[in-house]
Every structure is written in structure tokens, then in C-alpha cells.
């Protein structure tokens, strides 16, 4: 019976192709906007979240804004590291300086740090090594440079083992970092050159740790609390004296924003699906009136209410599902095109989005098909037979 | 003839319509009996209530009072869904304007009542072919109604009525939309079917056609008078 109803519905849909297509258009556009909007938001969210995570998701950045006459020293960082919630601590004191190699020079960010910085920030070496504890203790003039800085100052040549002049001092380059493809970290760190903390503080004439980074043993929130407690105790309970940036809380906030965004856009798209459903109801009502005679004939030769109801309901369902399928195909095409245009970001239809579209359009088909189908089923056979002659 | 089983038994059937606040007694105590294998015509002028009688006989409508037994089953106690089943199994309708579904082929039209009967596909094919063969249109089974002449369309409709092997064939002015020559052919087909043992009742307002039946029932102002053996 179901197979027969599907066959009948198919016949009736194909017998008036233009009308069926126009009826489906509402659903097509609805599904299209739903899937494309949600997928675009998801794709953009994914890309931004990746960028943020690449900054180090389990990392805290701390900046001391007002040292109250009791500035932090390297030894104090050891005290912070002693806390159970904290895994590693490294200073990240930076200064903008000019670096020279041969005739080339560039404006670079010089970071004075320790060996722990490497792990905390999840850096990767292309060659050589990172700053070692010995370098910090001996205040050796060694530097590790980023790939971008290498390209800027050395072109295609390898910088490893070469000498770099920063503010009149010669540094031996002991390591080159891998290229970081994250746009945000590129913006944040610029052309980075890492030198031992002791060297940097000597150059800057300021032997204090004004900023440092912390990695958490477990949850970043716990580490944040530990660091905050320590700093509050140190800086006379003034929480304006320092700033802690928790990257994971940034990405949490980000995902809240994008969740709201996709809900909002999805909601707008759902409204257009609803309008599509009304279109289906409208045409189904016209179709029921037009086919009054057919309904009469079917009833006279033995179709019960249920069969007629089924037939029209399946027709409405098929219309909306067909529209949904076409909408999904177009969505896929659009997302492919957008992905090509956007380049670095790929937009894909997630299974969840597709399922949402299918479930939503079937629900719409059933909901708006029910009234016309019921109207058809309730027709009296004699009156229906008499309709239109 | 008398020992044959009664297919239709109507006693004091009354049907009242309300037209513009006025009561119209379409049937007013009509009684009749039709036995298995009979070929009966019902004749009456328009407005005499013959269509109402036909609708009640065909279980499309239910009487207001009186008793109607179809195959010894009282019809008035059934729900609409059950009436549909009875129409499907026991009654083969043939209409004046054929009432074929224009989007479907002759084959599909004849198949339709069998689909509602939930007959399996292979058996359906067999029954449809059998029915189409009986009206001599087997080679036209893939044609749509618009590709067939009026007489052929009516024969498809007869095949549709025959397909379910009903207890009775009910024809409402089957020759009304046909020219006299084709009408004759249809009546001849009815006679053949009658010889094969089918029970046939048809309505007409044409005396000449009515006389070709075995028995003639006249209806006038909602009352039935038998004009036996015309």
C-alpha cells in the first residue's frame, strides 16, 4: 500500500512538473539557507577556533601592570611553578628592537625567556635547538629565530650558526622555529627572536619579569586561580595590578558567540522553511479541490479514508523531501564554491546539519500536508463524484 | 430462478434531502429484491429518485429509514471505512461519464480497486488481464483514456468493475454518453456478462434500452413499481 501510494504521489508530482517545482522552491530555498548559513558559521567558527587554539589552549599569559615596588624576579616564577595546579612557568619579556644581518635589517620582537617557553607555547623547531637553562644561567648571546624572521633576514639561506646583530650585540643563532601557519599567532608575535631571559633583561636594563606565561597541569582554571592568588598576595590584593589572559576562556567566549550566531541564522532559515511549508499547504489545497472528482472515483471503487489520507500526505511529504534533496545538492555546490573562494577555510555540510534539514522538512511536509489530506479524505463520495459534471 | 440467492433486498427505504430548507423525499418507501444472476434495469424520469436508489444500492450513501441487505448484510450498521471496503469487494460501479482516471493507463485504472483490496502484484496482473480480456480490450491496456473512444472507455470502466469479481455490477446510465450504436455494443456486452452469470443492475431513462433487460423496475416519485417481464 505504501509503495502504491508513493507511486501515485510520484505520478501526480511529475504530471505537473512546473507547479511541483514552484511548490518545492519554498522548501529548496529554506533548506538552502538553513544548511548554507549553519555550515558557513560552523566553518568560520572552526577556522577561528583553530587559530585561537594554536596560541596554546592550556596556556595563561600574565602581564604585570603595576609592580607596587615589589617586582617579580625569575626566582619568583619558581615559586609559582611550585604550585600543584601549575606545570611550567616561563618569562616572556619582550622588546621591539632592530636586528641586522649583513646589509639586511628588520624590526623584530625580542623575547627574553627560558627553556620552558618552548613547551608552554607548543613551539616546534625546524633545526637546531631552543634556549637552554645553561644559556639563561650564563647569559649567553644565543638566539632562536622564527621562520618568518629567517626569511626576512637571511632570504633562502639557512640562518643556523650565523650571527645576528641586535642593538649592537652579536648573537649566535642556535635554532630556527618551524613556520607557524596560524594567522593570529603571526599577528601576535610578529618576527620573533627568542633570547635567554637574562640577556634580554640586561639589554633592556630592567631585571624584572613584567610578563610571563604559565601552562596548567590539569585545568587552566585551576592554574589561573593559583596564579591569581599568588599575585594578589604579592600586589597588596589589587587585582588591577596584573592581567591574566586565559586563552581557553577566549575560545569559550568565541564559541558562545558563534553558537548564538548559528542559532540566530538557523532560526531565520527555519522561518523561510516554514513559509515553504505554507506554500506546500496552499498547493495541496488547490490540488485537493482540483482532484475532487478523482477522490470521488477512488472512494466509489473502494478507497477508504485512510487510503486517501495516506495518498495526499505522502504526496506532501514527497514534495518537501524532494525539495529538501534539491536544496541539499545546491547547498553542497555553494559550499564547495565558497570553500574554493575562501581558500584557507573549508566549509563542509556536517551530518547534523543535513539531518536537521531532512527532519525539519519532513516535519513541515507532514504538518502542512495533514490539513489538505484530511480535507480530501473527508470528502463525501457522491458529492465528490458530482463535482465538475 | 426463485431458488437463487438474494443479492439485494430493500424494504421501505426512505431517503430525505434538505434542499433550501425544504424536505425532498428522494425515496419514499421503496422496496425491491434482486437475486443472483439477474439482469435488471431501473427506469424512471429524472428526479424520480433512481440515482439516490443507485447510490444507496452501491453503498455510497445510507438510507434514512428502511432495511437494506446486501448479501444478507445490513448496510446501515457500517462505518464509512467499512462501507468503502464493501464497495470495493461487492460492488462494481459503471458510470455514465466513465469516471476513469485520465492520468493512468487502462491497465492502471482496472488495477486500482485491486490495489485498495491489497491484492499482491502478480495476482493483480492476472486479474486485470482477465477483466480486460472479458471486455475485449487486452491489446489496449497501455493506452490512456484520452487515447480511447467513448465505447472503449466505457468498456475499460466495465473491466474495472469486473476486476474485483463483485457480487453485483451497478451501472448508472452506462449508455447515456454514447451514441446509439456504441450504446448497443455496451448493452450486448452486458448481456454476454449476464450469460456468464454476472448479476447486473443498470439505470436508464430510455425505455428501449430498459426493455433489453430480463426484468424492468420502474421508479416514480421515490416509489418502486415492478414491470416484470417486459
CB atoms within 10 A of CB A21: 15
Q: Residue A94, Cβ neighbours under 10 Å: how many?
A: 21
Query: A interface toward B at CB cutoff 8 Å?
Result: 1, 4, 11-12, 15, 293-294, 296-307, 381-382, 385, 389
Element (H, E) at A382: helix A381-386
CA dihedral angle for residue B144, residue B147, residue B152, residue B156, rounded to 10 degrees: 0
Instruction: Measure the CA–CA gap between B177 and A99, rounded to whole angstroms.
Output: 104
- What ipTM goes with this model? 0.91
Contact flag B81-A305 (C-beta cutoff 8 Å): yes
Whether residue B116 lies within 8 A of chain A, CB to CB, comes out as: yes
Partner residue facing B93 (CB), from A4, A11, A300? A300
pTM: 0.73
| Alpha carbon distances (Å) from A295 to A180, B22, B117, B180 | 69, 29, 17, 30
* Closest residue of chain B to A387, computed from CA coordinates: B99
pLDDT of residue B1: 47
Helix (H/G/I), strand (E/B), else coil: B131: helix
Q: What is the C-alpha radius of gyration for chain A, rounded to an integer number of angstroms?
A: 34
Q: Nearest by CB to A306, which of B55, B81, B101?
A: B81
Per-residue tens of pLDDT for chain A, all 389 residues = 778 888 888 888 888 899 999 999 999 999 999 899 888 888 888 887 777 776 666 788 888 888 788 888 888 888 888 888 888 898 988 888 888 888 888 888 888 999 888 888 878 888 899 999 899 888 899 999 988 888 888 888 888 888 889 888 899 999 998 876 655 555 666 788 899 998 888 888 878 888 888 888 888 888 888 888 888 888 888 888 888 888 777 777 887 888 888 888 888 888 988 898 998 999 999 999 999 999 999 999 989 899 999 999 999 999 999 999 999 999 999 999 988 888 777 788 889 889 999 999 999 999 999 999 999 999 998 889 888 74
Cell numbers for A267: 532560526
Residues 6+ apart with CB under 8 A from B208: none
* Pairing, β A242-246 against β A59-64: antiparallel
Q: What is the pLDDT of residue A11?
A: 86
Cell of A243: 592581567
User: Which residues of chain A lie closer than 8 angstroms to B87, CB-CB?
Assistant: 299-302
Shortest Cα distance, chain B CAs vs residue A34, angstroms:
36
3-state DSSP of B100-123: CCCCCCHHHHHHHHHHHCCCCHHH
Residues in chain A with CB shorter than 8 Å from the CB of B164 are 302
d(CA A242, CA A211) in angstroms, rounded, equals: 9
Q: How far apart are CA A318 and CA B72, in angstroms?
A: 43
- At B48, which helix (H) or strand (E)? none
Per-domain residue ranges for chain A?
A: 2-52+252-386, 66-240
Q: How many helices (H) and strands (E) does chain A have?
A: 14, 11
The fold of B39-56+79-227 is Rossmann fold (3.40.50)
pLDDT at A78: 85
> CA B216 → CA B32, B177, B209, B219, distances in Å?
11, 21, 10, 10
Amino acid at each position: 500500500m505504501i509503495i502504491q501510494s508513493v507511486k501515485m504521489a510520484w505520478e501526480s508530482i511529475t504530471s505537473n512538473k512546473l507547479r511541483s517545482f514552484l511548490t518545492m522552491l519554498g522548501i529548496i530555498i529554506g533548506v538552502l539557507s538553513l544548511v548554507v548559513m549553519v555550515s558557513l558559521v560552523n566553518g568560520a567558527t572552526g577556522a577561528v577556533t583553530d587559530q585561537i587554539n594554536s596560541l596554546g589552549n592550556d596556556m595563561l599569559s600574565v602581564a604585570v601592570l603595576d609592580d607596587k615596588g615589589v617586582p617579580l624576579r625569575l626566582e619568583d616564577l619558581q615559586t609559582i611553578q611550585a604550585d600543584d595546579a601549575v606545570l611550567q612557568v616561563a618569562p616572556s619579556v619582550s622588546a621591539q628592537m632592530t636586528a641586522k644581518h649583513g646589509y639586511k635589517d628588520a624590526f623584530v620582537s625580542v623575547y627574553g625567556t627560558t627553556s620552558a617557553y618552548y613547551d608552554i607555547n607548543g613551539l616546534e623547531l625546524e633545526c637546531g635547538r631552543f634556549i637552554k637553562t645553561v644559556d639563561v644561567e650564563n647569559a649567553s648571546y644565543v638566539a632562536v629565530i622564527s621562520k618568518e624572521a629567517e626569511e626576512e633576514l637571511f632570504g633562502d639561506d639557512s640562518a643556523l650558526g650565523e650571527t645576528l646583530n641586535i642593538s649592537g650585540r652579536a648573537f649566535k643563532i642556535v635554532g630556527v622555529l618551524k613556520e607557524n601557519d596560524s594567522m593570529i599567532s603571526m599577528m601576535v608575535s610578529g618576527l620573533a627572536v627568542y633570547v635567554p631571559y637574562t640577556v634580554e633583561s640586561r639589554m633592556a636594563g630592567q631585571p624584572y619579569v613584567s610578563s610571563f606565561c604559565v601552562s596548567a597541569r590539569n585545568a587552566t582554571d585551576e592554574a589561573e586561580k593559583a596564579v591569581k592568588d599568588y599575585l594578589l598576595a604579592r600586589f597588596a590584593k589589587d587585582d588591577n595590578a596584573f592581567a591574566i589572559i586565559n586563552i581557553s576562556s577566549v575560545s569559550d567566549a568565541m564559541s558562545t558567540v558563534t553558537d548564538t550566531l548559528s542559532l540566530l541564522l538557523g532560526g531565520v532559515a527555519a522561518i523561510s522553511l516554514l513559509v515553504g511549508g505554507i506554500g506546500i499547504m496552499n498547493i495541496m489545497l488547490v490540488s485537493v479541490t482540483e482532484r475532487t472528482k478523482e477522490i470521488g472515483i477512488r472512494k466509489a471503487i473502494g478507497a477508504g479514508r485512510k487510503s486517501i489520507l495516506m495518498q495526499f500526505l505522502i504526496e506532501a511529504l514527497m514534495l518537501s523531501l524532494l525539495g529538501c534533496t534539491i536544496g541539499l545538492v545546491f547547498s553542497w555546490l555553494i559550499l564547495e564554491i565558497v570553500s574554493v573562494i575562501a581558500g584557507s577555510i573549508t566549509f563542509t555540510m556536517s551530518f547534523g546539519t543535513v539531518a536537521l534539514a531532512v527532519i525539519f522538512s519532513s516535519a513541515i511536509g507532514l504538518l502542512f500536508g495533514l490539513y489538505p489530506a484530511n480535507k480530501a479524505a473527508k470528502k463525501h463520495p457522491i458529492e465528490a463524484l458530482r463535482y465538475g459534471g | 430462478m426463485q431458488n437463487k440467492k438474494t443479492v439485494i433486498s430493500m424494504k421501505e427505504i426512505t431517503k430525505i434531502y434538505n434542499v433550501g430548507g425544504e424536505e425532498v423525499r428522494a425515496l419514499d418507501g421503496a422496496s425491491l429484491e434482486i437475486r443472483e444472476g439477474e439482469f435488471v434495469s431501473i427506469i424512471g424520469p429524472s428526479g424520480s429518485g433512481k440515482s439516490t436508489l443507485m447510490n444507496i444500492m452501491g453503498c455510497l450513501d445510507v438510507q434514512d429509514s428502511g432495511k437494506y441487505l446486501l448479501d444478507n448484510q445490513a448496510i446501515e450498521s457500517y462505518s464509512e471505512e467499512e462501507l468503502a471496503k464493501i464497495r470495493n469487494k461487492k460492488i462494481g460501479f459503471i458510470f455514465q461519464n466513465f469516471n476513469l482516471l485520465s492520468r493512468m493507463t487502462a491497465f492502471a485504472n482496472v488495477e486500482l480497486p485491486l490495489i485498495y483490496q491489497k491484492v499482491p502484484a502478480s495476482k493483480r496482473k492476472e486479474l486485470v488481464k482477465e477483466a480486460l480480456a472479458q471486455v475485449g480490450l487486452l491489446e489496449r491496456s497501455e493506452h490512456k483514456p484520452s487515447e480511447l473512444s467513448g465505447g472503449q472507455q466505457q468498456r475499460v470502466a466495465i473491466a474495472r468493475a469486473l476486476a474485483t469479481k463483485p457480487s453485483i455490477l451497478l451501472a448508472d446510465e452506462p449508455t447515456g454518453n454514447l451514441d446509439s450504436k456504441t450504446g448497443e455494443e455496451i448493452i450486448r456486452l452486458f448481456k454476454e456478462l449476464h450469460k456468464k452469470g454476472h448479476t447486473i443492475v443498470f439505470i436508464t431513462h430510455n425505455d428501449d434500452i430498459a426493455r433489453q433487460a430480463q426484468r424492468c423496475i420502474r421508479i416514480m416519485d421515490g416509489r418502486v413499481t415492478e414491470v416484470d417481464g417486459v
